[in-house]
Amino acid sequence: MAESVGGDLAGKTCLVTGASAGIGLATARGLARLGARVVMAVRDPEKGERARRSVMGATGRDVELAVVDVASRKSIRAFARDFAGRHPRLDVLVNNAGIWSERRRLSQDGIELTWATNVLGYFLVTDLLRPLLEGAGRARVVNVASQLAGELDLTDVQFERRPWSGRSAYAQSKQADRMLTWALARRVSGTGVTANAMHPGFVATEIFGKGGGLWSFAASLYSKLRARRPEEGADTVVWLAASPDVENRSGLFWKDRQERRCRFRGEAGEEALWSLCREMTRPA
């Protein structure tokens, strides 16, 4: 069992995306136990409400629910406006919502769904809420990434030329999540905001079971037999969000509360990715 985080989030506002199940739900529960004012961002309101009630029952804390589809620019922009209208500051942002798909699908905006959800969702939520983070004085962004990362092709992020692979689409999205974290860390340097990425380990969540396909089936089966519990996967997320041990540490990759080397570094590539995400999330 992991050591207690030791942080105090009393009076702080924490937003967790993809909070209706798995790592996101466990993260919301962990942050609430530390006294945070938690906002659980979910796509399915009914499932989200059940999750909200479970967190409230486990922690005795009042928890807020927000509905947003992080694959939709319109939905994210409406959510960000509403959030800013109700919360003058944001102390912790956990970007966690993600998918795995064994077939190529498009979002409502006509963008390949894995990229739209796992990458553009992280980018646009953070970008629109950045003024609230910087206005908090000291704030933290935690991006849930993965060791399963690589194969990023900035000339074909939507697999319009490459043969489709659900594994490759997921891996490139998680490489991009790390690179966006390093680009964000540069942009918020000196503002009191930190940005870090982490690997939760192989966690038993719904993401693989819903993917379809042989690889997804194998991953789902493995997760049931050998994977970590969501609470174990969320431990480093909560630690990065709250622990005084990582205050002022930014632009780093973490696993099991330990800093790990990341091979996906290089300012030119990170800035090219940032520019691409900016272009792809412009208002329709």
Q: DSSP letters along 82-133, please? A: HHHHH-S--SEEEE------SS--B-TTSSBHHHIIIIIHHHHHHHHHHHHH
With cut-offs at 50, 70 and 90, classify the pLDDT of residue 5. Answer: confident
Cα–Cα nearest to 224, from 195, 203, 244: 203
CA Rg, the chain, in Å? 17
Can you tell me the distance from the alpha carbon of 32 to that of 147, in angstroms, rounded to the nearest whole number? 27
Can you tell me the distance from the alpha carbon of 28 to that of 40, in angstroms, rounded to the nearest whole number? 7
Can you tell me the distance from the alpha carbon of 104 to that of 226, in angstroms, rounded to the nearest whole number? 28
The DSSP letter of residue 264 is -
CB 94 within 8 A of CB 237: yes
97-129 per-position pLDDT tens digit = 999 999 999 999 999 999 999 999 999 999 999
Question: What does the pLDDT read at residue 206?
Answer: 62
CB 158 within 8 A of CB 71: no
CA 122, 203, 200, 12 dihedral sign is positive
Question: What does the pLDDT read at residue 80?
Answer: 98
Mean pLDDT of 218-227: 60
The least confident of 118-127, 189-198, 216-225, 249-258 is 216-225
CB 29 within 8 A of CB 53: no
With cut-offs at 50, 70 and 90, classify the pLDDT of residue 4. Answer: confident
CA 208, 231, 17, 273 dihedral sign is negative
CB 67 within 8 A of CB 49: no
Task: Indicate the average pLDDT of the chain.
Answer: 93
Mean pLDDT of 79-84: 98
Domain covering 13-280 assigned CATH 3.40.50.300 in the classification: no
Cα–Cα nearest to 90, from 144, 19, 26, 41: 41
Query: Residue 219: helix, strand or coil by DSSP?
Result: helix
242, two tokens:
């709250």
What is the share, in percent, of the chain residues with pLDDT greater than 90? Answer: 87
Question: What does the pLDDT read at residue 219?
Answer: 56
Question: What does the pLDDT read at residue 1?
Answer: 43
Domain ranges of the chain: 13-280
The least confident of 1-10, 53-62, 171-180 is 1-10
With cut-offs at 50, 70 and 90, classify the pLDDT of residue 7. Answer: confident
Spatial neighbors of 59 by CB under 8 A, at least 6 apart, are: 29, 32, 33
Mean pLDDT of 119-144: 98
CA 280, 98, 147, 191 dihedral sign is positive
pTM exceeds 0.85: yes
Active site residues: 170
229, two tokens:
């519990």
Question: Is residue 166 over pLDDT 70?
Answer: yes
Question: What does the pLDDT read at residue 56?
Answer: 98
* Phi and psi torsions of 72, nearest 5°: -120, 120
